[in-house]
Amino acid sequence: MIHIPVLQKEVLEILDPKPNQNFIDCTIGEGGHTLAILEETAPDGKILGIDWDQEIIKSLKFKVESLKLSRRLILVCDNFANLKEIVKKENFKEVSGILFDLGLSSWHLEKSGRGFSFQKDEPLDMRYNIITFGRSDQSYYGVTAGKILNEWPEKEIEKILKEYGQERFAKRISRRIVEERKIKPIRTTFQLVEIIKRAIPSWYQHKKLHFATRSFQALRIAVNDELENLKKVLLQALEILKPNGRLVVISFHSLEDRIVKNFFSAFAKGYGGQERKLKILTKKPVRPSAEEMQMNPRSRSARLRSALKL
């Protein structure tokens, strides 16, 4: 499946890229938004593209070289929570806009083999940041979904499912996980789907949203510490933007959206003793059109918020 950048037309309208301006794409993924921005910022506008996944950066490098864009696109494999350090290291200045697309890329779901999708039988990993050295020697950073499921206390698992997944049957699912892991380790996505299925009422299995969606989402957020990373980066992004620069965030989860909304409000209205540094450009979050949702069903939960630095 080809990765379709979510809300691309809206992103371009709000960022309003002009020739020779510089932008940062903090979640470059498969490069859809970035390539569209580069077209508008020719001949000399640059983009600093960041992604936490080494495999994605590697494949993008090939794409960029074939499109002869290496001069204008700087690719960095790192966690966007380190944005200020990255910008300093790359000496990247005069930033007119910063974009965050917090969605999971199609590549992660379809090809990564790391257990992001409940529709494929894969090991329960769910980390973005697997660093590979050579073919056989792999150095792994951070906790995996499998480690959480097999080693963490029942209460912690319940908390993850409840807080990050807003899963109404978090207590029943976490209890079942702990019971099942006593019999044998939970290693694969299909094993986990089956455990969830056994833990929930039968009517819950036939709802529009797949019954495992919330649990998988919650584990992924926990494994990659996604909400904390978002909180860490927003203030850095505001500092890096030049005056009249634009900040655009596409979120796919109500908790992410709330973090962004509260941050924008605090700096637009001067809440909590904050100085007024932002003007909100999207009074309500921008949603994908019916046409886009039909073409790309994964876009259905996307919400775009944007603000201008004063």
Measure Cα distances from 170 to 18, 116, 184, 219 in Å: 48, 19, 21, 12
Nearest to 194 by CA among 121, 144, 143, 109: 121
pLDDT of residue 108: 84
What confidence tens digit (pLDDT) does each residue in 239-296 have? Answer: 999 999 999 999 999 999 999 999 999 999 987 777 899 999 999 999 999 999 999 8
The number of beta carbons lying within 10 Å of the beta carbon of residue 179 is 13
* DSSP E strands, the chain: 22-25, 47-51, 73-77, 95-101, 130-133, 137-140, 241-251, 278-280, 303-309
Q: Give the model's pLDDT for residue 134.
A: 38
Question: What is the rounded distance in angstroms from the CA atom of residue 245 to the CA atom of residue 260?
Answer: 17
CA 249/CA 309 separation, integer angstroms? 14
Q: pLDDT per residue over 183-193, tens digit each?
A: 999 999 999 99
Give yes or no for residue 133 having a pLDDT over 60: no
The one-letter code for the residue type at 260 is V
- Which helix or strand (DSSP H or E) is residue 173 part of? helix 170-183
Q: Are 50 and 80 in contact (CB under 8 A)?
A: yes
Specify the pTM.
0.92
47 closest CA partner among 103, 304, 305, 27: 27
Tell me which of 1.25.40.10, 1.10.3720.10, 1.10.287.540, 3.40.50.150 is the CATH number of domain 8-107+226-309: 3.40.50.150
Q: What is the pLDDT of residues 32-83, one digit of tens each?
A: 999 999 999 999 999 999 999 999 998 888 888 777 788 899 999 999 999 9
- Match domain 115-224 to its CATH number in 2.60.200.20, 1.10.275.10, 1.10.150.170, 3.40.50.10540: 1.10.150.170
| Residue 132, pLDDT above cutoff 60 | no
137 pLDDT band, cuts 50/70/90, is very low
Lookup: tokens for 284: 């309500």
Domain boundaries, the chain: 8-107+226-309, 115-224
pLDDT of amino acid 136: 35
* pLDDT at position 177 over 70: yes
